[in-house]
Chain A
Amino acid sequence: MTPLLEVDNVSAAYGAVQALTDVSLRVMPGEIVTLIGANGAGKSTLLMTICGAPVPRAGRIRLAGEDITGEKTHLTMRRGVAQSPEGRRIFPRMTVYENLLMGAQALTTGDPGPQLEQVFTLFPRMKERLAQRGGTLSGGEQQMLAIGRALMSKPRLLLLDEPSLGLAPLVVRQIFGAIRQLNESTGLTVLLVEQNANQALRLAHRGYVLVNGRITMEGGGHELLARPEIRDAYLGGGHG
């Protein structure tokens, strides 16, 4: 089976600063894969490299076997990749409805109706808040909106950049529950970048650990969770 996403020995840099070195990872269709790592490990850079900016210095990125290395972001998105960016980045002055419609711009078939329905089933709160301005939503609702907005383009691959950032544990559980539900009911493939290693690894089928721009470990979600070095480095010495 061809992996839906294949990152093959990718290196990337911002000017002289090396951000990623020989990173390889693959995401099979229908999988939830998580990428964990500390601040500045290069997690977000990897997601952005997949989306085409920055262009990798070396290595290839393939989507369902097709080479998308260095392709313009909006073209990659049209191939069925969607992204919920770090820090949510919803449009604060626009209504929830307008925010969701902005997500449908990369949708190749015209009607956003079925996608909208899917978002409402997943996050019923969004339907209640439809006429409300994005900036007046709570943090958790904004994250739901960011994910919902990404789903509007009917993606094959959903890239989530730290959806738990700045949210209360209860809300994080809710969001992660929704991701699992989405994956189980529609078979959507998810690449999840997280600092919250504990919950991310519990959710994911497989995981990768990124340290200083290099992949240092990979394995099943629960398998990684059980490793002592992970427990020490990312889970606060077993308190997680």
Chain B
Amino acid sequence: MSAAALAPPRPAGRVQLALKDALIATAVAAILFVPMVALRTDVGTAGALALRYRWTDAAILCGLVFLGRLLLVLWTGRRGLQPTTSAGPWTRRLQQAGRFAAPAFLIVALLLPVIPGVDRYELDLGILVLTYVMLGWGLNIVVGLAGLLDLGYVAFYAVGAYSYALLAQYFGLSFWVCLPLAGILAAFWGILLGFPVLRLRGDYLAIVTLAFGEIIRVVLLNWVSLTGGPNGISGIPRPSFFGLSFSMSGGEGTFAGFFGLEPSSVHRVIFLYYLILALALLTNWVTIRLRRQPLGRAWEALREDEIACRALGINVTTTKLSAFALGAMFGGFAGAFFATRQAFISPESFTFIESAIILAIVVLGGLGSQIGVAIAALVLIGGTELFRDLQEWRMLVFGGAMVLIMVLRPRGLVGTRTPSIALGKRRAIDGNLVGEGHG
């Protein structure tokens, strides 16, 4: 090869290259968008499905892809976007501010209900985001720390929710009694799932957990006499504040009446917000504490190398089961909270897509990183809410964001791992130095 071939392409060559590249990208986009966008089935007049064509929409999208790719290649060259697992400028800044970042998030979360301009809608969104933060942290124990790929995490969420709903319906137990019970029952189911999959790893484990999630959902759907089947359970009692209900009557035994406040439905929302915040922080605190204990370190070692763990005399069985049980327990807490917040649950809330979203939060945040999971939950759940006006295009933005994060930062937003113990200064381990995990 001559030196000329190695030299950067001349401007004309570059335009040609960009055009070619953009055309290829457009062709790929066309293949995707024709079935997804251009062809749409609607319910017709007689109730039958009718096919509607939306060629203009598909053409606009393809045009956007063409333009975007063309400009990108012209701007940065063909190899412009490079994936990196190392700390980028913003993560480095985040690490420098790391001591302040987490407390800052915490302060904002604590003060959210009193920030001016924050209304019921924002609080409801906050509750939703925090629920997913909690689920993400719970799953992080199983997937992030212990390295056990769980695609059926929503099953424990469902067990928690139905535990509370059924105990309240049949035995009239209050939320505060049921909350620990829901956690214990979910943990029990976690162990039950754990036993048959003790010897499985990676893909095989993922398939079994996926099936487990579906089994729970299908049982809830078909055991009509107990769970009400597809009709779900309604009228689930709301939680009380130390025995004070959030009734709108404002009488003697109510929250508003006791504190002499004007009865308002916002009180309960604020209370629920702080409740889920407390539950999420509990999850986080337990995880952080356990990471520094022999058990937590054994989880991480298990993720790294199971055979070495056996050779060191670590009881792999109890280590795995404890990860499943603990992760499931927090899922159960979140489920009980979900049931009391919604006052209505049905198997529809516990489909596979929920497991997938929770797993996406953990993977995008960075396996094992607490702050990363919180940010990912905020971005994915809060973000999709922001794009609500886009309606059906929302999922496109969601998917695009996920692809982009994984292309640019394959190890998640926070790909670094902080050692659980250090003599003297703590140093985060750069994601670049971290080899791919062995499933």
- Which one of B294, B307, B422 lies within 8 Å of A89 (CB-CB)? B307
Are A94 and B310 within 8 A (Cβ)? no
> Would you give the 0/1 interface string for B312-356, flagging 1 where the beta carbon is closer than 8 Å to chain A?
111110000000000000000000000000000000000000000
B310 contacts A74, C-beta separation under 8 Å: yes
Q: Interface residues of A, CB < 8 Å — how many?
A: 34
Tell me the smallest distance from the CB of B214 to a CB of chain A, in Å.
33
Contact size range, B: 20 to 34
Interface string of A75-97 (1 = CB under 8 A from B): 01110001111000111111101
Chain B residues with CB below 8 A from A97, complex form: 419, 421-423
> Of the 9-residue stretches B28-36, B129-137, B394-402, B426-434, which lies at the interface with chain A?
B426-434
Binds A, one of B11-19, B189-197, B274-282, B297-305: B297-305
Is the CB–CB distance between B433 and A106 below 8 Å?
A: no
Q: How far is the CB of B386 from chain A (nearest CB, A)?
A: 35
B residues less than 8 Å from A149 (CB atoms): 312
Minimum CB distance partner of A76 in chain B: B313
The answer to whether the Cβ of A135 comes within 8 Å of any Cβ in the partner chain is yes
Given contacts A89-B307, A102-B301, A135-B434, contact A95 B312 (CB under 8 A): no
**A235 sits at the interface (CB 8 A):** no
The answer, among B309, B420, B433, for a CB contact under 8 Å with A98, is B420
Q: Check A101/B421 contact, CB under 8 A, given A106-B313, A131-B427, A153-B312.
A: yes
A89-B308 in contact (CB<8A): yes
| Interface 0/1 of B218-258, CB less than 8 Å to A | 00000000000000000000000000000000000000000
Asked if B311 and A105 sit within 8 Å, CB to CB, the answer is no
30 contacts between A and B (CB under 8 A): A53-B310, A74-B314, A74-B316, A78-B313, A82-B312, A82-B313, A84-B311, A85-B307, A89-B305, A89-B307, A89-B311, A91-B305, A92-B434, A92-B435, A93-B304, A93-B429, A93-B437, A95-B429, A97-B419, A98-B419, A101-B421, A102-B314, A103-B312, A105-B313, A106-B313, A130-B423, A131-B424, A131-B425, A131-B427, A136-B433
Q: Bound complex: CA of A88 vs CA of B432, how far in Å?
A: 22
Q: Is B201 an interface residue (CB 8 A)?
A: no
Chain A residues near B (Cβ < 8 Å): 51, 53, 72-74, 76-78, 82-85, 89-95, 97-98, 101-103, 105-106, 130-131, 133, 135-136, 149-150, 153
A16 to B237, CA, bound (A): 61
Say yes or no for B267: interface residue by CB 8 A criterion.
no
* Interface presence of B417 (CB below 8 A): yes
Q: Which of B305, B309, B313, B419 contacts A95 (CB 8 A)?
A: B419
Q: CB within 8 A of B308: which of A78, A90, A101, A106?
A: A90
Q: Which residues of A contact B420 (CB under 8 A)?
A: 98
Decide: A95 near B422, CB < 8 A? Known: A102-B314, A131-B427, A133-B429: yes
Residue pair B419, A105 in contact (C-beta under 8 Å): no
- Closest chain-B Cβ to A180's Cβ sits at a distance in Å of 23
Q: Considering residues B300, B425, B429, B434, which has the most beta carbons from chain A within 10 angstroms of its beta carbon? A: B429
Known: A84-B311, A92-B304, A131-B419. 9 other contacts (CB 8 A): A74-B314, A93-B434, A93-B435, A94-B304, A97-B423, A102-B309, A105-B298, A106-B313, A135-B435
User: What 10 A-B pairs come out closest when comparing CB atoms?
Assistant: A77-B313, A106-B313, A89-B308, A91-B304, A85-B311, A74-B315, A83-B311, A95-B419, A74-B313, A102-B301
Closest chain-B Cβ to A134's Cβ sits at a distance in Å of 9
Q: Which residues of B contact A53 (CB under 8 A)?
A: 310
Please indicate the chain A residues that have their CB under 8 angstroms from the CB of B433 in the complex. Answer: 133, 135-136
Establish whether residues B421 and A98, one from each chain, have CB atoms under 8 Å apart when the complex forms: yes
The minimal Cβ–Cβ distance linking B323 to chain A, given in whole angstroms, is: 15
CB of B310 within 8 A of CB of A73, answer: yes
A51 touches B311 (CB 8 A): yes
